[in-house]
Every structure is written in structure tokens, then in C-alpha cells.
Amino acid sequence: MSLRLHITLLMIGLINLGAFAQQSGSVKGKISTSDGQPAAFISIGLKGQTQNTLSDDNGNFTLHKIKPGNYTLKASAIGLITQEKNVTVTAGETTNVNLVLTENKEALREVTVEGKKNKYKVSLPSASLRLNEPLLEAPQNIQTVSEQLIKDQQIISMSDGLVRNVSGAARAEHWGDLYTNIKMRGSQVQAMRNGFNFVNSYWGPLTEDMSMVDHIEFVKGPAGFMLSNGDPSGLYNVVTKKPTGINKGEVSFTIGSYDLYRTAIDFDHKITDDGKLLFRLNAAAQTKGSFRPYENNDRYTFAPSLSYQLTNKTKITAEYALQNAKMTEVGSYYIFSPNGYATLPRDFTFTQPGVPDTRINDHSAFVNLQHNFSDTWKATAQVAYSKYLQTGYSSWPSAVYTNNTVIRNVGIWDAESSMKLAQFFVNGQAKTGGIVHRILAGFDGGKKHYIADFNQSHDLDLPSAPFDVNNPNYGFPGNGYPSFDRTRSLQERGAANNIDQKYLSAYVQDELGFFENKLRLTLAGRYTYVNQAAYSGNPEIGKKVTPRFGLSYSVDKNTSIYAVYDQSFVPQSGILENGDENLPLTGTNYEAGIKKDWLGGKWNTTLSVYRILKQNELAADPNSPPTLNYSIVIGEKRAQGIEFDLRGEITAGLKLIANYAYTDGKITEVAPGVTGMQVGDAVPGFSKHTSNAWLTYTLQNGALKGAGISAGFTHLAGRAMGTFSGTNEERNLPNYFKLDGGLFWENKSLRINANVFNLLDKYLYTGAYYTGYWNAPTYDLGVYSWQAEAPRNYRLSVAYKF
């Protein structure tokens, strides 16, 4: 078939699509309170019809695919006197209807709070994710961990088991609770906060305390609408709490095993009676010990925020957060042995009491300005600033001997990180004929700087008297305690340990909706310029246009199928001997899936399949003369798999989170001359089989109304998280199974929650097998390293809402 015939048929198809789109109309509008504030999560529908939806965080709603005619629009929720309004729907047009609620403040508070609480299923993305559409219609696998789920599971930090709620996600060990390194789809995902990339070293931001977190969005695979400079496995976006315009508050107290004592407060209030100036304060303080001796993790968080409605169409929001941490030296979680995993007691430690704690002050600030030009067009400008200050220590052995003795080492780790970030983007909707356009366009820019002193170290033990694992002595160390030189500034001490990055990107995306927006075609592209240098190396400059193509089709109002093609890239340094251009490492994602809402949207399932290819990765050329240091392209790596997620309320009082993922990462091509790898080798960074579930049931009636039970498990099989051996199975991690459970009771003002974790009291851990790292006289084998999890332990929380 000729190209001309293809084009002709396409034009005819578009004309027919436009004609078809004219056969129905839509109703959209906004629900607000009598003081002008948006009313979120209000049920909206057409009386006697099947079309229904919920208003979003801004009170907006849209009902699609309505036949022409006269209808009665109905708004209802718990505690709300039903509101009805007559509307007329015209073919090919959108009818705008706004409703104002006039109930008393207490009744309205109940409506909004009841609409938000106990929700495991989130239907809409946050504004910082930029997608102006329901998640059901987005051509991407996006999973959200809600605030209620965080509370039910008693999660207190980003690294505290949160990943169990997302298919295929697993946390890799690294420096304990300092960073949250999450592996998904074969490699580490990017860490975002309120839509900004908050990674400023190779590890990530300080683990967020959950007191300031509203919810977390996990985006699977590359996301050109968010960023293109990064690993193609995906990202997680931490959305912080902001003022809601509802006068409410909550204070909670938690106690737990190993001297956990924690209190948190959430105070949300209107400063002015007209609701234009709003304030929210989230704060928490905790002391926390460990099942390992000499280990602690004490923190406090202070996070105020303000919003002001400048005009009816313009709103500004400002946030600040301080996270302060005082923890045992970084690395205290690690255990090392030449004899195999879990060959030492679960509570064994190499930490030397008396080594000073590591202290961290993490400051972050955000300012967001949003202007609504109309009901369909809005612009968002936001800036972020981060300053991370660390004065501390890290521990890592200098030598591990085959006779179970070790030379323990403590190094200095003082660090400073700063980030200045800015974004501007426009969301809008337009129509050309019968085609609906959802348009997103904008700019991202940023400057990041990281500097650290980790050049000074001190052996705690003498070669003549190493630390004996079989007979540990935690008295005064044989070689004394470290005394590091801090007389010079960090800028002087860390001059060779800089990471600098500057980037600027522009992007545009158009989602074209055909057949009354039943069929949606996404066409997008992003241009990104990155200039980065690490550890006094040569600057790495990357410039690339990354395309994005998506297709989503609504089989019915509750079911959609989708396919997406997207790319990301990472700049690389190196020189090819043949003089060819040094291309960035490119990751390409091919994905398809099906999403479905069940029982009127109470619960949702997502099934996706994907294949990610990484190309152009560089390594040292083994045939290069030593003075030239040429690089070589090593080949191609592939990650592929299947993911399934279920979340929501199955029946009244019964809520379920369940997921399963199959992940496989392999080398698929090896360039000539490349040694040390071959086709078929596993690329570590995944667990082949990952399955999770969390089930809660709440009694709906009777004397015990509000009481409930919860239970959940995590199972990981075929783990290849840090390293993987194809020849020696003992060097690979065994399967992992963890069972948790709890009881709770709540009413409108009080909630009591108790959970027991690791009910089966299993020796659980993650780790890796290291070779060729230590150079000890009697050392001739590799070393097993692992981080153990706590034995059976509990948490008890009491929360009072006011």
C-alpha cells in the first residue's frame, strides 16, 4: 500500500472520528464551599444514569460521553444534603455547571474527611505529576501509596517497608536509613519530591519522614512528562502535605520495640475567615534504638506551609521542611563474613561504641504559583531549594580474614549538598473539530552541587590484634578512636570530591482524543541539555531529544488498555578510539497494559508487560594503550517483566493491596573485545519474583463497630539485588518471606493501631557478595555482606483528631 494511500485513509479516519465525536457531549464544573474553597471528593452523577465521578482536590469534575438531552446533576456525600441541578447536554459541546455547598463547617468537614479517609485507591495524579487526566486514562503504569495506607501500616520513614505496596519494587541495602535506594524494573529509580528530581549524589535524598508526606506516586519506566535524564526504570514522587482549607488537626503517639518513642502533629487551619490565607504545620520527633547494640536513629521534623489565594484564579503556596537526624555512624547496618550469609547472629554488630554519631540537617523549600486562565487552561511556576548538611562518620572494614577476624575502619563523612531548581509548565485542553487535545508544555532547569570529605579514615583495630568475630570485644579499641582534621573548611578538604550538574530541558506533549475521547494518542518530545562532572573528572555533556508515544483506549468507562514507547538517557564520559561521537547511555521502554476500575471505582487493577533496553553503555577498552585510556561500547542490557497491582475496597470494610511482578535483567549483546561478561548473564538490580499483599477488615456495625484486623506478607524469590552468580548458588541471596499483622479500632476522633512485624520471627536480610575489594595477607576468598532486619517486633499508635 502506497504512502499516499496511507495518508488518505488516515485523513478519512480523522474526519469520521470528528463526526463521531459530535454525537455526544460532556458536563464539567467545580464544586466549592460558600467561602470559595474547593470541595474535594464529592460524588457527582446524573440522576437515573450510570455516569458518575468524584471531584478532585480542586473541586473540579468532568462527566464524559453523555447523549444529548436534559438531565438532573446530583452531588452527594456522607453528611451532605444532596444537591441537584438541571442541565442540558448538547452534542459535541461541554456544559459547564458549578455548585456551591452551603452546609455548616462541621458537616462539610465530615464530607471531605470521609471522602478521603480509608482510601487505598487514588484515581487522580497529583498536580506535581503534571498529567491532567485520570490515572485510568494515562498510558503508563502509575501506582499511588495513599496517606491512609501509610498510617495503617505504621510507616514512619520512606525506607520503612513502604515499597511492599508497589509491584516489583524492592529496597537495596545501602547506609541503612540514610537513603532510600529502590530498585524497580532492573535498576535504581529516581527520587522526586513535589515533581523535582531530588537526587544530588549517587544515592539520593535523606529518607523522608512520613509526618510531612501526603502520598507517594510510583511511575514505572521512563516518564518524559517528568524528566528524561535518568535511569529508564522509573521514579517515585513524594508529595508533601499542604493546606487544605479545612480546620482540622491530629496528634499521634507511637511506641514500639527497641525503644521507639515517637510523637507527630498535623495542624491544618484557615487563618482568615474568607479562606484565602491557609496554614498547615506538620512536625514529628522520635527516639529509636535497634535490635543491634550501640545503634540509634533519633530524628525530628518541622514542616510548615502557607497558601494564599491572590485572586479567584491565582494561588501561591510556600513550604519549608527541616529534617534533623542524629544516628549511629553510617554503615552500622553492615555485616561481613567469608563463611556465607547469615552465619553470624542476627543482632551481631561491627559498630564500636564511643564513635560519635552522624548529624544531619536537611533543609528544603518550595514555592508554587498556579494561575487558572480558564476552566481548561492553567499555568504553574514553581521553584525549589535544598541544603543538606552532614557531619559524621562511616564504617567499612579495611580487611576481612578467612579466620573470622576483621580490621574495622571508621572514615570521615562530612558532606554538603545544594540544589536550586525551577519549573514552568502549562496544562490545557482544546478542540479541533471532534478531536480533544490535552496539552502539556514547559521548561525545567536546575543547578546541583555536592561536596564531601571522605578522604580521612582510621583503623580501630591493629593488624596484630584484629577484631575477633568469634569472641568480640567492644572495649577500648586497640588502635584508639579516630581524630579527624576538621580545621580546614569542607570546600578545601573535599575539593576532589565534587559532583556538579547543570541541566535545562523543554518539552511538549499533546494527547489527542478521538471517538469522544475514547481513543487517546499521545505525541510528545523533550529536549534536554546536561552538563555534569563528578570527582574532578572531565565534564560529561549530554544533549538529546527523547520522544514519547502513547496509545490508550477506553473499552468502557471502567476499563482501558494502553501502550507506550518512551526514552531516557544518561551522559557518559569517555573517548572512542575510532573517533566516533560518545553517545549518552540510552534507555528505551516498550510497554503495554490494561487498567480496570471495579464496583464503581472502589478498587482497581493494573496489568502491564514491558521491555527496557539499555544501549551505548561505555567501559574501559581492554586493548587501549595505558596513556590513552580509550573506552568501548560494551553492548546491550535488557530488563523485561510482568507487573500486576490491585488496590482498593473490595467490599464494605474490606480493603486490599496486592501485587506481583516478574522481573528479569540480562545482557543481550556483548561488543567484540569486551571481557568479564557474556550474553545471558544476569544484570543485578532485581528480584525475579516479587509478591505482596496487605488486607484489612473493619467491622461496619455492632458494639465493635470501627474495630478491625490487618495482615500482610512480602515474598521475594530469585533475588539478584546487588550481585548475582551464575556458577555458585551460595553467593546468591535466598528467598525472602515476611509476615505482618495487627489490630485496630477507630471512631471519628480516636484511632488505636497495633501491628506486629515479622510475625514468624525469621532471620531476614538483603546483601551482596564482594570480590577483590580487600587486600589482606591471609585473605583469598570473597566476602559475604548483608544487612539483617529486626526480629519479631511491635508498634502501638494512638491518634486523636480534633
Q: How long, in residues, is the chain?
A: 802
566 or 541: which carries more pLDDT confidence? 566
Distance from C-alpha of 716 to C-alpha of 714, rounded to nearest angstrom = 7
19 or 219: which carries more pLDDT confidence? 219
The mean pLDDT value for 679-705 works out to 94
Per-residue pLDDT for 706 more than 80? yes
The mean pLDDT value for 353-366 works out to 96
Distance from C-alpha of 87 to C-alpha of 27, rounded to nearest angstrom = 8
Write down the pLDDT at residue 196: 95
Residue 627 C-alpha cell reads as 596513556
DSSP-derived 3-state class of residue 350? coil
Write down the pLDDT at residue 79: 44
Per-residue pLDDT for 61 more than 70? yes
Per-residue pLDDT for 251 more than 70? yes
Range scoring the smallest mean pLDDT among 179-193, 523-537, 628-642, 787-801 = 628-642
The mean pLDDT value for 281-286 works out to 98
Per-residue pLDDT for 103 more than 60? no
Q: In the chain, how long is the greatest CA-to-CA distance?
A: 91
The mean pLDDT value for 496-521 works out to 93
Per-residue pLDDT for 8 more than 60? no
Distance from C-alpha of 248 to C-alpha of 109, rounded to nearest angstrom = 8
Query: In angstroms, how far is CA 355 from the centroid of its own chain?
Result: 33
Write down the pLDDT at residue 19: 44
**713: pLDDT confidence band, cut at 50, 70 and 90?**
very high
Please give the DSSP secondary-structure letter assigned to residue 583: P
Contact 100, 34 (CB under 8 A): yes
Distance from C-alpha of 472 to C-alpha of 783, rounded to nearest angstrom = 19
Per-residue pLDDT for 561 more than 50? yes
* DSSP element (H, E) containing 510: strand 498-514
Q: Whose grid coordinates read 494561575?
A: 371
The mean pLDDT value for 456-483 works out to 95
Write down the pLDDT at residue 81: 61
Please give the DSSP secondary-structure letter assigned to residue 330: B
Average pLDDT score, the chain: 88
Range scoring the smallest mean pLDDT among 334-343, 459-468, 615-624, 698-707 = 615-624
Distance from C-alpha of 309 to C-alpha of 456, rounded to nearest angstrom = 52
Distance from C-alpha of 335 to C-alpha of 337, rounded to nearest angstrom = 7
Write down the pLDDT at residue 623: 62
CA-nearest of 377, 525, 509 to 439 is 509
User: Mind listing the pLDDT tens digit for each residue in 315-327?
Assistant: 999 999 999 999 9
Per-residue pLDDT for 164 more than 80? yes
Write down the pLDDT at residue 202: 73
Write down the pLDDT at residue 252: 98
Residue 499 C-alpha cell reads as 559532583
Write down the pLDDT at residue 572: 75
* DSSP element (H, E) containing 149: helix 147-152
Residues 6+ apart with CB under 8 A from 283: 211, 264, 265, 300, 301, 302, 303
575 or 792: which carries more pLDDT confidence? 792
Distance from C-alpha of 239 to C-alpha of 548, rounded to nearest angstrom = 25
Write down the pLDDT at residue 57: 65
Per-residue pLDDT for 772 more than 70? no
In this structure, the number of other CB atoms found within 10 A of the CB of residue 76 comes to 15
Write down the pLDDT at residue 77: 57
Per-residue pLDDT for 727 more than 60? yes
Write down the pLDDT at residue 316: 97
Write down the pLDDT at residue 107: 35
The mean pLDDT value for 524-550 works out to 88
Contact 202, 156 (CB under 8 A): no
Distance from C-alpha of 780 to C-alpha of 771, rounded to nearest angstrom = 10
The mean pLDDT value for 435-455 works out to 94
Write down the pLDDT at residue 111: 34
Euclidean distance between the first and final Cα of the chain, in Å? 69
Distance from C-alpha of 655 to C-alpha of 712, rounded to nearest angstrom = 12
Write down the pLDDT at residue 175: 77
Write down the pLDDT at residue 626: 59
Contact 346, 792 (CB under 8 A): no
Residues 6+ apart with CB under 8 A from 224: 507, 509, 524, 525, 526, 546, 547, 548, 566, 567, 568
Write down the pLDDT at residue 225: 86
User: Mind listing the pLDDT tens digit for each residue in 194-218?
Assistant: 999 999 877 778 999 999 999 999 9
The mean pLDDT value for 722-737 works out to 90
Range scoring the smallest mean pLDDT among 101-110, 238-247, 355-364, 551-560 = 101-110
The mean pLDDT value for 579-608 works out to 89
DSSP-derived 3-state class of residue 153? coil
Instruction: Report pTM.
Output: 0.85
